[in-house]
Amino acid sequence: MTQKTAIITGAGSGFGLETARLAARRGMNLVLVDVQADALEKAAAEFTTVEVLSRVVDVAKADQMEALAAAVQERFGAPHFVFNNAGVGSGGLVWENAVTDWDWVMGVNVMGVVHGVRLFTPMMLAAAKVDPAYQGHIVNTASMAGLLVPPMSGVYNVSKAAVVALTETLHHDLRMVTEQVHASLLCPFYVPTGINQSQRNRPGDLPGAQPTQSQLVSQAQTDKAVTSGKLTAADVAAMVFDAIDNDRFWIFSHPKALAGLQTRMEDAMLHRNPTDPYAARPEIGEALKAKLRAE
């Protein structure tokens, strides 16, 4: 039996690292990808019982992802599990984001997933064609932000909404051509992963401007929400493999948050203006407005 291979982007921390740990327990070869060299080196050193290929890659760069795909093909052949997970965050009022903010966030969060899909899906389909026993699975990390579109995180919302649309389309497209390759969509809510500190890996050619008041408020709000999360990255990694094992498309870390999605869909169905996201906790909304409107 051919040993299975997992490709994991954003593997140096958070969901990526915890998913790699579970993949290793299943005896899978690991392809670990991250833009942060020290975190990747530390992560790769953990795994001594499986084969590991680790590469520092900016997933937004087509040429770097193409080189990765070639290296995977040469070393392991077609992967069995692809986790397009690398992601970064940016907040503040949407008109205050610089072009470099858009380029950075869309590059990593959207084009990183696009490259993973366009490069590894054909490899998986080719493997399925020659081996009836082959099974492959692609998991893309979006966010509840891509479904709930909260205020003061516009660039991030847009990027994650794109991943939702891309992955749903991937699911349908795969079903048109094969029964052997599947797709799932991870939509986490607030989980302590380090994404709130993603500026640490911002590339020098896409510098950020001096933070605005709304960006400072958004950063403080996100820091508090992320660090206070009770669910762990390891919990979410377990959900990922449960979805793979059961061929389940939607992976929600916090199902209770779906009430907000239902309200949003009802707004659209009823031609109703978008509901205040803080309607149930008006004191939070009022506090944010006060900070943003302060002279």
Catalytic (active site) residue 190: no
Q: Which residues of 6-22 are buried (b: 16+ CB within 10 A; e: fewer)?
A: bbbbbbbbbbbbbbbbe
Whether 156 contacts 105, CB under 8 Å: yes
What long-range pairs does 75-78 form, CB within 8 A, spacing at least 24? 75/51, 76/5, 76/29, 76/31, 76/51, 77/2, 77/5, 77/123, 77/127, 78/5, 78/120, 78/123, 78/124, 78/126, 78/127, 78/134, 78/136
Considering the candidates 134, 156, 190, 278, report the single residue annotated as catalytic: 156
Instruction: Give the integer Cα–Cα distance in Å for 147 and 196.
Output: 19
3-class secondary-structure state, position 224? helix
DSSP-assigned letter for residue 272: P
Which uninterrupted H or E stretch holds 110? none
Question: Could you give the CA distance from residue 144 to residue 258 in angstroms, rounded to a whole number?
Answer: 8
Query: 224: which residues sit within 8 A by CB, 6+ positions away?
Result: none
Residues labelled as active-site residues: 156
